[in-house]
Amino acid sequence: MTHTTSHGSTDLQLPRSVRVELTVNGQPKQLELDPRVSLLDALREHLHLTGTKKGCDHGQCGACTVLVGGKRLNSCLSLAVMHDGDEVTTIESLGTPDDLHPMQAAFVECDGFQCGYCTPGQIMSALGTLDELERGIPSHVTADLNTVEYSDDEVRERMSGNICRCAAYPNIVRAVRSVHEGGQE
C-alpha cells in the first residue's frame, strides 16, 4: 500500500514583502516583512524582542499575549501586516530587573511562575484583565452581566487563556489581586 503525503502545489515566486510600521513600546519601527510573518515572529525574530513567547503558535496557550491598542491578543494569531500603524506593548516595556513594574514585582513576590516561559504572557494578560474589569467587560462567571466586579473567580476565568503547565495558578491569582488592591489604595 502506498501512501503519499503532499501538501499540494506551491508557488515559486518570492512573496512580496510589505512595509509595516508599528509603534512598539512607544518606539516607531519600520519593517519590510513577508506578509506571512505573524506579529509574534515580527517581535521575536525581526525586532529581537524575545520576551514575548511562542508556546503553541495556534492561539491555544496564551504565551504570546501582547497588548495592541491597549487590548490583549494572541500575537501568534495575527499577521504583523494586519497591525500596520498600531501600537504594540510587550513585556519589555514594563520594567527592568532592577526596576520592576508592579505586576512584575508581584509575580516575583508571589512566585507566580516557575519555568518562566508563560510568564510574560501571563503578565500582559493580567494587565489586560484588570483593564477589562475596570472597563466593565463581563465574563463567563459574571453573575449579573450588568455588574462587573473584581473577584478571584473573575481573574481565574479571564486568565484561562494563559496556560501555565508549572501551574503557578494560585500564586498568579494572588499576584493579580495584590496589584488590584495596590491600585485601589
- Work out which of 108, 143, 181, 183 binds other proteins, going by CB under 8 A: 108
- Work out which of 24, 73, 127, 179 binds other proteins, going by CB under 8 A: 73
Shortest separation between residue 124's beta carbon and other proteins, angstroms: 9
- Work out which of 29, 87, 102, 114 binds other proteins, going by CB under 8 A: 114
Q: Is 58 exposed, middle or buried (0-12, 13-18, 19+ CB in 10 A)?
A: exposed
Residue 134 makes contact with other proteins by CB under 8 A:
no
The cell for 106 is 508581584
Shortest separation between residue 185's beta carbon and other proteins, angstroms: 22
- Work out which of 23, 29, 87, 137 binds other proteins, going by CB under 8 A: 137
Binding mask 9-48 for other proteins (x = CB under 8 A): -xxxxxxx-x---------------xxxxx--x--xx--x
**Do the beta carbons of residue 181 and residue 174 sit within 8 Å?**
no
**Do the beta carbons of residue 32 and residue 17 sit within 8 Å?**
yes
Residue 21, classed as helix, strand or coil, is strand
The cell for 105 is 514585582
